[in-house]
């Protein structure tokens, strides 16, 4: 197949692609608030039908999964995984433009969900449409899985993959996202860390009290603080017994590849306004920790009075939200059991572990042949070498699909895209080049 014709057609399709992205970004599909779900499903059903795909709305509990496909008689199949839900936009006062009114500034488009994950999905849809526009088919069969609960833990996606397993056979899964690094090199992502997230909850009296009573009444906020202080030391070591036991360390080949990964640590540190990284790490040690180390992170605290001014109150309940990022071989259930045992043995049996969700990690080997195909087709359109990362430090339900086929992450984010934060953005030109990369893959992967 002549990919030059396809790539030129992508350029002609720019107006449609950016218009479709704008329409999609206006939908406030915040899964944590259960908003925009029906509108997103309707948009995707309409859009997939428009580009000539068969669409099935799959119910497996929770928000529907949109499945779309086209069988062109190819001997290979690509499945694209994406999600239509986004993070809450708060804090709203830090946005320079309304989060659900896409705005173009400085060559970028700003909106909640543009980087995570809506622009990436539209690049894939626009690439497929290009083949329809020139009256030809991709060299591979195409499938899309677009879920609506990724930002709240993909609770019902395992049900979907079991209930609709017959739809999911594929040779390659192209995962939801990736980005460019601090100096603009596009990335290929070969895995996701797993995750456990939940809450540590301490309870005191059956009502909030005047703080003068703290001399005799236990304060649940201090209970949470003291419990957290047993979990991690000042050198960032996680103190839960057996926490690191199953964590895979890189073998010699992986260490060599890790050494070769360009990692602009000075630019990253300066962009984040930091004087140093954890434990003053740099070089190989910094990369090793970034890609191969698990974490225990405090996400936030609640309890007592949080409003303006002061209120001298003794709270009846206190909560710390946390997440734990897992590396290969670590399992969520095992880590939660170890956390429970740790709290019990350190005098915190009263601390409840609540609202726990999670999933295991996933990883595709460096030497998988599709990695080379993705890298070569990417270099042709980005006009630079792509950087292969063993994993993203973030998490996602990749493990469900890596059981079926190798998973490789691609996307059009950039180092300051601000996913999950105010003023989320992607560069418009990257959006178009990313579309060309997907089109190039679809033209060439089938041979």
Say if residue 238 is in the same domain as residue 167. no
Name the DSSP letter for residue 188.
E
Q: Which CATH number is 340's domain given?
A: 3.30.70.360
* Domain assignment of residue 166, yes or no: yes
Asked whether residue 223 is domain-assigned, the answer is yes
The CATH number of the domain where 66 resides is what? 3.40.630.10
39 domain residue, yes or no: yes
Whether residue 223 sits in one domain with residue 129: no
Contact 381, 7 (CB under 8 A): yes
Do residues 64 and 159 both lie within one domain?
yes
Q: Could you list the residue range(s) of the whole structural domain that residue 322 is in?
A: 195-247+293-359
Whether residues 324 and 391 share a domain: the answer is no
Rounded to two decimals, the pTM is: 0.87
- Both 92 and 36 in one domain: the answer is yes
Number of domain units in the chain:
2
Name the residue with tokens 């708060």. Answer: 90
With respect to residue 280, please indicate whether it lies within any of the assigned structural domains.
no
The answer to whether the beta carbons of residues 187 and 181 sit under 8 Å apart is: yes
Mean pLDDT by 10 residues, the chain (447 residues): 88 97 99 97 99 98 98 98 98 98 98 98 98 96 98 94 98 97 93 95 97 97 98 97 95 89 90 95 95 96 94 97 96 98 99 94 95 98 95 90 97 96 98 98 93
Let me know if 293 is exposed, middle or buried by CB neighbors in 10 A (0-12, 13-18, 19+). middle
What's the pLDDT score for residue 311? 96
State which of 326, 359, 392 marks the end of a domain: 359
At which of 359, 381, 400 does a domain end? 359
Same structural domain for residues 232 and 329?
Answer: yes
Number of C-beta neighbours around residue 206 at 10 A: 8
Give the model's pLDDT for residue 290. 93
Start-to-end CA distance of the chain, whole Å, equals 8
> Which of 359, 386, 406 is at the close of a domain?
359
19 vs 349: CA distance, rounded Å: 55
Asked if 160 and 214 sit in the same domain, the reply is no
What is the four-CA torsion angle of 380, 383, 384, 386, rounded to 10 degrees?
-40
* pLDDT score recorded for residue 24: 99
Looking at residue 398, its pLDDT comes to: 96
- The answer to the question of residue 9 being in a domain is yes
**Residue 418 and residue 315 in one domain:** no
Together in a domain, 54 and 142: yes
Closest CA to 199 of 294, 295, 299: 299
Residues 325 and 234 in one domain: yes
């Amino acid at each position: 197949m002549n990919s030059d014709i396809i790539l030129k057609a992508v350029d002609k399709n720019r107006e449609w692609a950016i218009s479709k992205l704008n329409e999609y970004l206006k939908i406030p599909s915040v899964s944590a608030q259960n908003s925009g779900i029906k509108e997103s499903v309707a948009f995707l059903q309409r859009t997939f039908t428009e580009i000539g795909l068969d669409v099935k709305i799959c119910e497996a509990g929770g928000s529907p999964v949109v499945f779309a496909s086209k069988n062109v008689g190819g001997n290979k199949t690509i499945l694209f995984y994406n999600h239509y839900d986004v993070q809450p936009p708060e804090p709203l006062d830090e946005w320079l433009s309304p989060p659900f009114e896409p705005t173009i500034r400085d060559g970028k488009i700003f909106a909640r969900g543009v980087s995570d994950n809506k622009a990436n999905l539209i690049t894939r849809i626009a690439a497929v449409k290009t083949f329809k526009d020139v009256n030809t088919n991709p060299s591979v069969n195409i499938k899309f899985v677009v879920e609506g609960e990724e930002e709240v833990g993909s609770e019902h996606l395992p049900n979907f993959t079991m209930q609709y397993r017959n739809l999911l056979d594929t040779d390659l899964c192209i995962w939801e996202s990736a980005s460019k690094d601090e100096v603009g090199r596009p990335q290929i992502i070969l895995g996701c860390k797993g995750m456990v997230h939940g809450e540590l909850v301490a309870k005191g009296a059956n009502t909030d009290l005047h703080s003068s009573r703290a001399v005799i009444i236990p304060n649940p906020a201090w209970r949470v603080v003291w419990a957290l202080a047993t979990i991690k030391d000042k050198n960032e070591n996680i103190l839960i017994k057996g926490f690191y036991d199953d964590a895979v360390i890189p073998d010699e080949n992986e260490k060599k590849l890790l050494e070769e990964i360009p990692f602009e640590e000075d630019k990253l540190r300066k962009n984040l306004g930091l004087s140093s990284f954890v434990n003053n790490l740099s070089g190989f040690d910094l990369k090793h920790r970034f890609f191969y180390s698990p974490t225990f992170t405090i996400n936030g605290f609640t309890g007592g009075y949080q409003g303006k001014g002061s209120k001298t109150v003794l709270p009846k309940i206190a909560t710390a939200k946390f997440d734990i990022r897992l590396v290969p071989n670590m399992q969520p259930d095992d880590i939660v059991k170890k956390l429970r045992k740790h709290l019990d043995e350190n005098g915190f049996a009263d601390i409840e572990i609540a609202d726990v969700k999670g999933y295991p990690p996933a990883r595709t080997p460096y030497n998988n042949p599709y990695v080379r195909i993705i890298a070569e087709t990417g270099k042709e359109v980005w006009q630079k070498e792509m950087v292969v990362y063993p994993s993203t430090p973030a998490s996602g339900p990749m493990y469900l699909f890596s059981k079926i086929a190798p998973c490789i992450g691609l996307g059009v984010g950039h180092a300051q895209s601000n996913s999950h934060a105010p003023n989320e953005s992607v560069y418009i030109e990257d959006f178009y080049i990313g579309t060309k990369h997907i089109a190039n893959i679809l033209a060439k992967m089938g041979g």
